[in-house]
Amino acid sequence: MTAMNRQVEKQLDRNQWVRLGLTTAVASVLAVLIVQAIALAIWPDIILFKPLDSYPRSALFTAVPIAVATALFAWLAAHKPQPVQTFIRISAVVLILSFIPDYILPVPHKTVLASTVAAFMHVVAAAVTVSLLVIGYRRQTGSS
């Protein structure tokens, strides 16, 4: 049996998923806030773009999707034969869709630069979130 097709025998319990989700949320929120701070230091005018003008809002808009992603991954792990691959595919689609509002919503002070910084923050959040959830899941279940 190949590593890709190997079924996970051990499932995470609710507490393990909660810990994994919280750890992921802390790391992802910190990464996004660091990127936001660096971007604002380099291009101070982008703070006029509403999605970039508040650290608490950025933290919230990072943490809530992580809670949803963790719940989705937990469900996939319990109900689907290849939860990691399915989770990664869904995450990629959601990431691409998340760019749309940054570029098309009529928000004051929207520029290509500001929209691109916001989109890059989505990439950072997704990269940290998907990586930590998948790595944490694999470590705790012993799957490859």
Tokens describing residue 125: 């959040």
Whether 8 maps to a domain, the answer reads: no
> Which structural domain, as residue segments, surrounds residue 123?
14-141
Q: Please tell me whether residue 66 adopts helix, strand or coil conformation.
A: helix
Domain count, the chain: 1
Helix then strand count (H, E) for the chain reads: 4, 0
Mean pLDDT of 25-29: 98
The model's pTM is 0.89
Quick check: 69 and 86 in contact, CB under 8 A? no
Residue 7 lies in a domain: no
Q: For 6-24, write each residue's pLDDT tens digit.
A: 454 688 999 999 999 999 9
In a domain, 4, yes or no: no
pLDDT tens-digit series, residues 72-120 = 999 999 999 999 999 999 999 999 999 999 999 898 999 999 999 999 9
Query: Taking all residues of the chain, what is their mean pLDDT, rounded to a whole number?
Result: 93
